């Protein structure tokens, strides 16, 4: 069974971009709460918490999410956090991921607070001052061990006004949740936990056999994050080699290197059909091969 997809797009003749975005965010709120409840019931040992959504933060649209893992560090369960917040006053998008210990509930962004110490960006690329069509979709699966929830959007009038605000997914290698998002300029922020180091893994991209946005076009399955580790300089003696297990996304997710086809729909050689979500190279399987 392929993932469930819901189209949340808004037409371009609506009088207010803000109104269209607010209505879209309300739908995401509803679907996310339903999915988190089901995902938690299937994974009672590692719970997801929606700390703040759009309805709970006047003047902001977005989501602050915490994942409590079964993995432990120094005898305490690891807690990851993802934050994607659009400030409706200045159109700035703040996208952050990291350990929940870096969250300051009173640090700003209204009731979202501020998350620091991981990986993130803030930019002002959202465009709220004119009506324009907004393409958006949610995708999710509750297949045990392959659970995920994703939300991607694009303002069609602007090639750089695209984002993947939400991706909550099982790391197929460890069975732990990992959290990801992008800002409106396609900067990827991902947080996961490595059990065999153990340490926080951050990422700013996918592992790709071919990374250009042109031929040969490549649909890579299963998708993997490319972990960021400290650089190693030449010293004597050489430091020990560090190994980590790959962070592998669920089977209904893949990467596609034609990045400009946001919400593009395409068919793979095996007959499966895919929808590209956001600017992050992420694609979700809509139809299994027949």
**pLDDT (0 to 100) of residue 145:** 94
d(CA 163, CA 153): 6
Task: State both tokens at 9.
Answer: 């797009």
**pLDDT (0 to 100) of residue 185:** 84
Task: State both tokens at 77.
Answer: 């369960």
Residues 4 and 139 sit within 8 Å (Cβ to Cβ): yes
d(CA 200, CA 195): 9
Residues 151 and 132 sit within 8 Å (Cβ to Cβ): no
d(CA 87, CA 62): 9
Residues 191 and 97 sit within 8 Å (Cβ to Cβ): yes
**Length of the chain, in residues:** 290
**pLDDT (0 to 100) of residue 229:** 57
3-state secondary structure 181-232: EECCECCEEEEEEECCCCEEEEEEEECCCCCCCCCCCCEECCCEEEEECCCC
Over its C-alpha atoms, the chain yields an Rg (Å, rounded) of 19
**pLDDT (0 to 100) of residue 115:** 95
Per-domain residue ranges of the chain: 4-228+240-253
**pLDDT (0 to 100) of residue 258:** 73
**pLDDT (0 to 100) of residue 129:** 72
Label residue 282 exposed, middle or buried (CB < 10 Å: 0-12, 13-18, 19+).
buried
Residue whose structure tokens are 């600017």? 279
Tens-digit pLDDT string for the chain (290 aa): 578 999 999 887 777 788 888 889 999 999 999 999 999 999 999 999 999 998 888 999 999 999 999 999 999 999 999 999 999 998 899 999 999 999 999 988 999 999 999 999 999 887 777 777 888 999 999 999 999 999 999 887 776 788 999 999 999 999 999 999 999 888 899 999 988 888 899 998 887 766 666 677 788 888 998 876 555 556 777 666 666 778 999 999 998 877 655 788 888 888 899 998 877 889 999 988 86
**pLDDT (0 to 100) of residue 50:** 97
């Amino acid at each position: 069974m392929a993932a469930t997809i819901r189209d949340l797009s808004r037409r371009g003749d609506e009088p207010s971009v803000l109104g269209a975005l607010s209505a879209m965010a309300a739908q995401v709120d509803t679907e996310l709460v339903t999915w988190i409840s089901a995902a938690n019931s299937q994974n009672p040992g590692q719970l997801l918490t929606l700390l703040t959504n759009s309805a709970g933060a006047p003047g902001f649209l977005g989501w602050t999410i915490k994942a409590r893992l079964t993995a432990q560090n120094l005898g305490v369960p690891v807690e990851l956090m993802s934050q994607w917040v659009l400030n409706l006053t200045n159109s700035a998008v703040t996208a952050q991921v990291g350990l929940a210990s870096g969250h300051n509930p009173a640090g700003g962004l209204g009731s979202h607070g501020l998350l620091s110490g991981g990986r993130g960006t803030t930019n002002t690329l959202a465009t709220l001052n004119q009506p324009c069509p907004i393409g958006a979709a949610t995708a999710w699966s509750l297949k045990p061990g392959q659970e995920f929830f994703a939300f991607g959007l694009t303002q069609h009038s602007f090639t750089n006004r695209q984002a993947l605000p939400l991706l909550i997914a099982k790391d197929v290698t460890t069975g732990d949740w990992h959290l990801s998002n992008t800002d409106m300029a396609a900067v990827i922020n991902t947080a996961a936990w490595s059990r065999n180091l153990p340490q926080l893994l951050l990422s700013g991209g996918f592992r790709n056999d071919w990374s250009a946005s042109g031929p040969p076009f490549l649909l890579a399955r299963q998708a993997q994050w490319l972990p960021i580790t400290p650089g190693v300089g030449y010293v004597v003696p050489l430091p020990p080699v560090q190994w980590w297990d790959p962070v592998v996304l669920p089977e209904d997710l893949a990467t596609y290197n034609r990045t400009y086809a946001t919400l593009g729909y395409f068919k793979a050689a095996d007959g499966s059909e895919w929808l590209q979500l956001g600017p992050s190279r992420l694609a979700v399987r809509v139809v299994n091969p027949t």
